[in-house]
Structure 1
Amino acid sequence: MTLAHIRVEAVAYDDVVAAGLRAELMADLSCRYGDQDGDATAVRSAEFTPPLGVFLVGWLANRPVGCAGWRTVGENAELKRMWVRPEARGKGLARTLLAAVEESARQAGRARMILETGLAQPEAIALYESAGYQRIPDFGHYANEPAVRSYGRSL
């Protein structure tokens, strides 16, 4: 499928479709990292409500297949809960979601996007590095974990 078949929509963080995609993400992270929580970073739905942030769902052929959001952290936008279902990978959805998140943050006045990921997510690391993200000092809930990798990029 081509990029023309991808649709990205802003939704409430606790929207039922968004919640289902985030649950799949957490299950995947639990498998990769061997913990029950998937990601223990504290988030609140209000953090993804404009102007503090946004949460997006990506659709492919009228089926929800990915999500991503940003929230305000200091003067930065922090990318959170980026996920694409395995069957939808390789079709440009992750890049489309990332670009939409970045544009949303830019329009909200944020000049920089930061994120944290981990060594058990090599495809995420490859995406971020190919999109121009560079390593930054680790931050957030997992800052002291040896497998964490933090990245940032000017918007």
Structure 2
Amino acid sequence: MDASVLRKRIYKLLIFSILMVLGILLMAFLFINHADDSLNKATYTTMDQEIDLCVQRVSSKKNTDLVLLNTFARNLNKETDLDFSLFEMKKESDFSSIQFIDMNHNVYSSKKDSKFSYNNLSDEYKDKIKNGFLGKQCTFKQKNKYYKLTYIVPVYENENQI
């Protein structure tokens, strides 16, 4: 065999090998890219489902807490020992604390060592309390050191008077 024919065959074989390697690399890139897209889509779908479940749990917890607080509010009356009742309610629930603020802005708390004062509250909190005195219940988020979910529930002395 002639050297030039041998060189041509080696050259053709080398070009074919390089094209094969490039073809394999291209297919590997396309496969990895497709797999990455599929994994991202699955991840986002799973995250969306988890977020929906969390929203449902928080909403359910909020509704349960409001029912519990409204039940507690219905059981309060003028003869109730507020300090004891708040302490017992706190003990029976998973609230971090429970406060009762009367129309004169006297504050009663489930935490016996708490120095909770109406004057030290934020303006936003005071506005929510004013709405509570108007018969509106609400839920809002406070940020101090941590985020804290706060519920305002009006307490009625009789069916019409807060």
TM-score (norm 2): 0.22
More helix by share: 2
TM-score (norm 1): 0.23
Greater RCO, CA 8 A, separation 6+: 1
